[in-house]
Structure 1
Amino acid sequence: MRVTLLGTGDTTGTPTVGCDCATCERARERGIERSRFSVHVENERTCECLLIDASPDFRSQFEATGAALPDAAVITHVHFDHLDGLGNFYRLLDDLPVHAASALDPFTGASVADSIRERYDYLDVVEIHGQEPFSTFEVCGLELTLVPVEHPPMACYGLAVEDPETGAKLSLSGDTSYDIPDESRDALRDPDLLLADAIVPASLAPKHPMGGSDFDDEGVPLTFGTKHMTRQGAIRLGEDLDADETRLVHLAHYYPADEAFGEPLAVDGEVYDL
């Protein structure tokens, strides 16, 4: 299983358009990109490829990495930075099966799958397949399990991807606070690689209108506001799940410049063979 990090940024990406903060300027100087979140998984046994979340930066991501066009996709939730790249498949593919959770989201009144189906009803290439959370399904020769996480007020899902032949496992936290349900944690546990949402360091929590939450024993917030983990929360999650390696993703340009490009913060284009 070959995993390529197509996009490792949050909703505005880094560098952010029109921003001259030290972090964005340093990213420009170093030629570093953190575009909107997306992950490419190649099953080298079957020569099939899976796209996890469809970034609005789809075109530049595939051009930059040379990644093969996907045979299928999974969408974790319906925020635009994870979904709106689907429109790019017009005239690129004849069909693209897209998998998403079928459970009703009380906030939207529709499931993630139904919301995508409605939004892209004009796009014949996209075929939506609803999947029950915690029910494993097979795509591209890999076993996938969508699990609920906490990204209020909207339903959002983490994802476990396993190769049934080699035992390799990739887990994604999804956009989430640290307060992930135990059943979801169990499904994500023991990955070779964990991609964990870590939007900012805990030191910035006081700047959020809601502050921080999910404090550790030393009072460090593991969640920024209510929707995303801090760097400390994401690292702690990796420890909780016994991940062999944890890379931090969905990163904002609010990281101080002297912290923004250090380990274990990911940048676009990283490749992992599991």
Structure 2
Amino acid sequence: MEVTLLGTGDTTGTPTVGCDCDTCERARSLGVERTRFSVHVESAAGQSLLIDFSPDFRYQFLRADVDPPDAAIVTHVHFDHLDGLGNVYRLADDLPVYAADETDPTTGESVAQTVRNRYDYLDAVSVEPTAPFEPFETVGLEVTLVPVDHPPLLCYGLLVEDPETGGRLALSGDTSYAIPDRSLDLLAGADLLLADGIVPAENCEYHPLGGRHHDESGVPRTFGDKHMTIEGARQLGDRLDAEQTRLVHLSHYIPADRAFADDMAVDGERFDL
């Protein structure tokens, strides 16, 4: 399968609108971007799966020159992962959108119900409620939703496997370092891990909640309570023994001299698994 990173940034992206910080200026000078998160997966069978609907949907697809999705998954209902769904209007005749069926105590409905309620005007979209930990097949791929930790909302990571090539893609999802053990077991040993790492651990001093899930050296692996630090994401890659780890959901608050390190993804990267 071919994996294309359509969007590798956080909720504001890099460069950020109206920002002239060193990191945004460095991105401009390098000619790279980190738009809002989204991943395109083309199976060996020749069909495509979209993971999350970035608000930058139109731009991402035109820039990457990839086919519109034959199926899609929504990991959670934050706007930077969902609000691009409206872009499929007139682009698809029948688009199954898979989302978790667990009721979120914060919203009173599941991710699947939220997607259906917000986009009920899209006749081409059929929402497919999906149970976590239960693999399902779509577009020639086997996909499993795995619960992670992204308070206050329920959120899910993913394991995507291509039975024809044997390739395995794991996504941490938007998460703190406190991913449940059962989910970690499923995500382990992937060819490629996309790990959510938003800022360096040193930035935790600027968060009202500070940092959490400190390692043996006292380094926080979670920034606040929603996202892993860069250090936490790297440690997750080591813990899961991924063949390769790429850090995603990166913010422009990473110092410019470190913001484009070798393991930090930028939009447009492609991987054959």
TM category (shorter chain) comes to: over 0.9
1:169-194 per-position Cα deviation (integer Å, ceiling 9, x unaligned): 00000000000000010111110000
Listed as ranges, the matches of 1:187-266 within 5 Å are 187-266=186-265
1:147-166 per-position Cα deviation (integer Å, ceiling 9, x unaligned): 11000000000000011232
Equivalents in 2 of 1:53, 1:98: separation in Å? 10
1:95-138 per-position Cα deviation (integer Å, ceiling 9, x unaligned): 21100000111111000000100000111121100000000000
Match of 2:98 in 1: 99
Equivalents in 2 of 1:117, 1:187: separation in Å? 28
Q: Which amino acid aligns with 1:118?
A: N
Match of 2:137 in 1: 138
1:35 aligns with 2:45: no
Match of 1:124 in 2: 123
Equivalents in 1 of 2:32, 2:184: separation in Å? 32
Match of 1:151 in 2: 150
Aligned Cα RMSD in Å? 0.7
Match of 1:113 in 2: 112
1:27-62 per-position Cα deviation (integer Å, ceiling 9, x unaligned): 112211100000000012x11000000100001101
Equivalents in 1 of 2:7, 2:220: separation in Å? 25
Match of 2:267 in 1: 268
Task: Specify the SS of the correspondent of 2:198.
Answer: coil
Match of 1:75 in 2: 74
May I ask how many residue pairs the two structures share in their alignment?
273
Q: What stretches of structure 1 move > 4 A for 4+ residues in a row?
A: none
Equivalents in 2 of 1:60, 1:160: separation in Å? 26
Match of 2:6 in 1: 6
Equivalents in 1 of 2:73, 2:175: separation in Å? 17
1:41-100 per-position Cα deviation (integer Å, ceiling 9, x unaligned): 0012x1100000010000110111101111000000000000011100011111211000
Equivalents in 2 of 1:220, 1:232: separation in Å? 8
Equivalents in 1 of 2:49, 2:96: separation in Å? 10
Equivalents in 2 of 1:239, 1:112: separation in Å? 30
Task: Specify the SS of the correspondent of 2:33.
Answer: coil
Equivalents in 2 of 1:59, 1:25: separation in Å? 24
Task: Specify the SS of the correspondent of 1:81.
Answer: helix
**Gapped regions of structure 2 (runs ≥ 5):** none
Task: Specify the SS of the correspondent of 2:12.
Answer: coil
Q: Which amino acid aligns with 2:192?
A: L
Identity of aligned residues (%): 66
Match of 2:60 in 1: 61
**Gapped regions of structure 1 (runs ≥ 5):** none
Q: Which amino acid aligns with 1:48?
A: Q
1:181 aligns with 2:187: no
Equivalents in 1 of 2:167, 2:193: separation in Å? 12
Equivalents in 2 of 1:167, 1:73: separation in Å? 21
Listed as ranges, the matches of 1:13-28 within 5 Å are 13-28=13-28
Give the drift of 1:267: 0.1
Q: Which amino acid aligns with 1:124?
A: D
Match of 1:162 in 2: 161
- Scaled by the length of structure 2, the TM-score of the pair is 0.99
Task: Specify the SS of the correspondent of 1:88.
Answer: helix
Give the drift of 1:263: 1.7
